[in-house]
Structure 1
């Protein structure tokens, strides 16, 4: 019997694009950095394989198995050793054809797994660089939020200061926002800060 393994990184992501009718589906919503054997649905899939209920595992793409080269290759090797074909639909690869291991597929999968891990490291590097730039600008908070500004700091920003000037001159919130190039929400915040100063 065929099975489809589906993984998305967050609970908010939709799995519909990976789903397929008429195939037993195992869906995990977790990071690809979590080892395959530690994912809830992957565990159920492996149990079904050990019971002889599945002989082919389909994935939308290799990176659905994971983002760690060693983990991906270990997973594929263990499935292949159990005579379970792994089919990657996006790349058009099948690890076992007519009962024989496909060496070309294994080579390509090794390369793609390495690239997947490299891509993840690039994403992490960009995140680190972004955090460093935010720290240099003084807008980074370790809890992921923006640096909180006190009323004076908030009103000292050029557009906010202009908005405050228009509000003091009797303009409405909406008009002051338009004239100073800020949103209505920011103009309301400017008005609120002005009232407490």
Structure 2
């Protein structure tokens, strides 16, 4: 691992209305010594976070990626651990200011690993409770499952398809998955 690396920051807010939150992150990242800062204004649940991908591509062996809080970097603990693993493979350390975690130290690596173990345990417990609740609801005749969104819109799918609209555009207009459109259309042709 290279001794000299640069400090690179990443900041994110969920909406453009959170200017003060972004400004505070940028201030803290600069105060931490970041020479380059990437930031974006979009929800973590967005399918694409272009600036996150840019910073992950940008950092090199010996660099340190700094974020103010873990939820500014990752969608979940599993996502955080995946990002940390990607950084480690590149020889990049991760520093989370709010938690005083630095994966460049043995203690920082331990804390991140413990965080992941606890999150995995909590997820398993939650899934177990969910399965038990579903079983109980089924036994009592109260469980119907999720309403099939695409099936409910099948008439609209057919109408648009007959009007010459392609499957991708149908999916966009009706806000359903493209594969759902193909399933509905396939069911008609069978």
- Structure with greater proportional helix content: 2
Instruction: Report the TM-score, using the length of structure 2 for normalisation.
Output: 0.50
Query: Whose radius of gyration is greater, 1 or 2?
Result: 1
- RCO greater where, 1 or 2, for CA within 8 Å and sep 6 or more? 2
Instruction: Report the TM-score, using the length of structure 1 for normalisation.
Output: 0.48
